[in-house]
């Protein structure tokens, strides 16, 4: 049987790139909808990389600036200087850029489906591959195919909607974490303990331990994607927490016969960070959640500045990244726990500001925003504050206000929960 032809159109790829060289608006359409890897011709991929980088930096992406970018990155000879002139000359109009982008993107999806479909057929023929693995591969393959939107009937009357949901919580941890909650954790960069706290929460949730009351809960499937620390550092930190988790299970869960299961906590170390303005990096992060053997309940990642290319204080890129993260938690039904740094400025109390560094959007985005800092209370006895820097969208959760270090776990509750202090503008 003859192999199927590779789905791509060199002419459409050329017209899309030509339009981007002629028009900034067309270049933005390209960057928003097509990744460089979606182009089939290698020279076209290099040009798309140049256009994408230049647009993300806020610069122009005409033939001169793209040629300069290629020259500085050592790929101009591979592309050929004459190609840039050719692309502009053969482009009939920039008015059809969106159509060109759709064709190039669709062809890329078809090529991925063909390649992964062939791999799926090889796995299906191999009886040593579990059927569950085949199902997971097929499900991942299906995500590469865009499905049309479907209507699902009329919206509910308000009274019916409220009546069916007002008492309903989709708890991951009763009273503490609901599915799809967004948590943003701040503290000074390099502050000892902020990352440790998030790893501790991930470990405790994965073994079925309430992080503050230490009551049993349903073990959650947790994924850590560390965008800042190196593999060795992450391994050393997790090693200590794994030992604590094993001992906790032996002591607190002694009447169970299910043993210790660390399989619900998975880790990916990606210290080079992500640029979620790039389609390829958005696909990478989506792929990590889609590839898990069980649906992810909680995604722990960050810091936020390692997820955005360009200036982290700009509102527009922050809005794009926040929208993508919202789409991600909705698609996979997971809660987000994201680390962030805080600015160098001090507040009225003379302490380091706890609000997240970057665009002001991050102050409004999460359901819960907590900053970690050492307490100055006279009776604090070395405790730390979990200080809310925004009003919670759902009051009454069981997060403590004061924690201490040096208990069995690195972080423990310092005082019983009391009435919260008023939330100020940090």
Structure-token pair, residue 411: 């972080």
Shared domain for 29 and 110, answered yes or no, is: yes
- Write down the pLDDT at residue 267: 94
Question: Is residue 58 assigned to a domain?
Answer: yes
Residue range 25-37: mean pLDDT, rounded: 92
Name the residue among 32, 42, 38, 22 with its Cα closest to residue 90: 22
Question: Is residue 38 assigned to a domain?
Answer: yes
Question: Is residue 40 assigned to a domain?
Answer: yes
pLDDT band for position 203 (cuts 50, 70, 90) = very high
Name the residue among 369, 389, 299, 289 with its Cα closest to residue 337: 299
Tens of pLDDT, residue by residue over 124-174, are: 888 887 777 777 667 666 655 544 444 445 566 777 656 655 557 899 999
Confirm if 212 and 400 have CB atoms less than 8 A apart: yes
- Domain of residue 6, CATH code: 1.10.860.10
Tens of pLDDT, residue by residue over 389-414, are: 887 777 778 899 888 887 889 999 98
Q: 3-state SS string over the chain? A: CCCCCCCCCHHHHHHHHHHHHHCHHHHHHHHHHCCHHHCCCHHHHHHHHHHHHHHHCCCCCCHHHHHHHHHHCCCHHHHCHHHHHHHHHHCCCCCCHHHHHHHHHHHHHHHHHHHHHHHHHHHHHCCCCCHHHHHHHHHHHHCCCCCCCCCCCCCCCHHHHHHHHCCCCCEEECCCEECCCEEEEECCCCCCCHHHHHHHHHHHHHHCECCCCCCECCCCCEEEEECCCCHHHHHHHHHHHHHHHHHHHHHHCCCCCCCCCCCCEEEEECCCCCCCCCHHHHHHHHHHHHCCCCCCCEEEEECHHHHCCCCCCCHHHHHHHHHHHHHHHHHHCCEEEEECCCCCCECCCCCECCCCCCCCHHHHCCCEEEEEEECCCCCCCCCEEEEECCCCCCCCCCCCCEEEECCCCCEEECCCCCCCCCCCCC
Query: pTM higher than 0.75, yes or no?
Result: no
Question: Is residue 163 assigned to a domain?
Answer: no
Shared domain for 278 and 402, answered yes or no, is: yes
- Write down the pLDDT at residue 414: 86
Q: With H, G, I as helix, E, B as strand and everything else as coil, classify residue 350.
A: coil
Tens of pLDDT, residue by residue over 330-357, are: 989 999 999 998 875 555 555 667 788 8
Tens of pLDDT, residue by residue over 88-117, are: 999 998 999 999 999 999 999 888 888 878
Range of the domain at 101: 1-145
- Write down the pLDDT at residue 104: 96
* DSSP H helices in 57-130: 63-72, 76-79, 81-90, 97-125
Shared domain for 273 and 388, answered yes or no, is: yes
Shared domain for 343 and 381, answered yes or no, is: yes
Distance CA 422, CA 414 (A): 19
Shared domain for 114 and 229, answered yes or no, is: no
Q: With H, G, I as helix, E, B as strand and everything else as coil, classify residue 141.
A: helix
Confirm if 81 and 67 have CB atoms less than 8 A apart: yes
Question: Is residue 347 assigned to a domain?
Answer: yes
Confirm if 334 and 179 have CB atoms less than 8 A apart: yes
Question: Is residue 154 assigned to a domain?
Answer: no
- Domain of residue 321, CATH code: 3.40.50.300
Higher pLDDT, 32 or 181: 181
- Rounded to 10°, the helix 81-90/42-56 angle is 80
Shared domain for 182 and 293, answered yes or no, is: yes
Name the residue among 364, 374, 366 with its Cα closest to residue 338: 366
Q: How far out from the chain centre does Cα 164 lie?
A: 32
Structure-token pair, residue 58: 């806020």
Distance CA 40, CA 8 (A): 7
- Write down the pLDDT at residue 344: 59
Name the residue among 35, 49, 48 with its Cα closest to residue 112: 35
Highest mean pLDDT among 88-97, 190-199, 307-316: 88-97
Number of domains composing the chain: 2
Question: Is residue 155 assigned to a domain?
Answer: no
């Amino acid at each position: 049987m003859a192999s199927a032809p590779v789905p791509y159109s060199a002419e459409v790829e050329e017209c899309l790139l030509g339009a981007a060289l002629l028009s900034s608006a067309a270049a933005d359409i390209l960057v928003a909808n097509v990744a460089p890897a979606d182009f089939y011709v290698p020279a076209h991929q290099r040009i798309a990389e140049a256009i994408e980088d230049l647009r993300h930096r806020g610069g122009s992406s005409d033939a001169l600036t793209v040629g300069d970018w290629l020259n500085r990155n050592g790929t101009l000879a591979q592309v050929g200087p004459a190609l840039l002139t050719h692309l502009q000359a053969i482009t009939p109009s920039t008015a059809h850029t969106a159509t060109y982008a759709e064709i190039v993107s669709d062809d890329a999806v078809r090529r991925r489906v063909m390649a992964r479909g062939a791999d799926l057929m090889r796995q299906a023929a191999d009886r040593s591959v579990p059927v569950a693995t085949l199902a997971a591969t097929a499900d991942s393959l299906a995500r590469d195919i865009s499905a049309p939107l479907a209507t699902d009937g009329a919206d509910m009357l308000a009274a019916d909607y409220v009546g069916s949901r007002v008492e309903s919580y989709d708890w991951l941890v009763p009273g503490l974490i609901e599915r799809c909650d967004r948590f943003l954790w701040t503290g000074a960069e390099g502050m000892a303990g902020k990352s440790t706290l998030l790893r501790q929460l991930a470990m405790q949730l994965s073994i079925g331990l309430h992080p503050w009351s230490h009551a049993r809960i349903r073990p959650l499937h947790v994924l850590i994607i560390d965008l800042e620390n190196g593999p060795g550092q992450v391994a050393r930190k997790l090693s200590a927490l794994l030992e604590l988790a094993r001992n906790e299970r032996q002591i607190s869960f002694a009447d169970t016969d299910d043993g210790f299961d660390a399989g619900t906590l998975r880790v990916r170390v990606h210290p080079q960070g992500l640029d979620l303005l790039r389609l390829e990096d958005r696909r990478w992060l989506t792929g990590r959640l889609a590839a898990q053997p069980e649906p992810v309940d909680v995604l722990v990642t960050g810091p936020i500045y390692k997820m955005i290319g360009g200036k982290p204080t700009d509102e527009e890129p922050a809005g794009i990244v926040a929208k993508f993260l919202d789409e991600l938690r909705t698609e996979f039904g997971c809660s987000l726990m994201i680390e962030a740094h805080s600015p160098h400025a001090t507040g009225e109390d003379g302490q380091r500001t706890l609000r997240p560094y970057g665009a002001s959007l991050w102050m409004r985005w999460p359901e819960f925003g907590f900053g970690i800092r050492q307490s100055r209370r006279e009776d604090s006895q070395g405790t730390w504050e979990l200080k809310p820097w925004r009003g919670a969208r759902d009051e009454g959760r069981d997060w403590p206000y004061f924690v201490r270090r040096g208990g069995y776990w690195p972080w423990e509750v310092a005082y019983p929960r009391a009435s919260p202090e008023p939330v100020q503008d940090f």
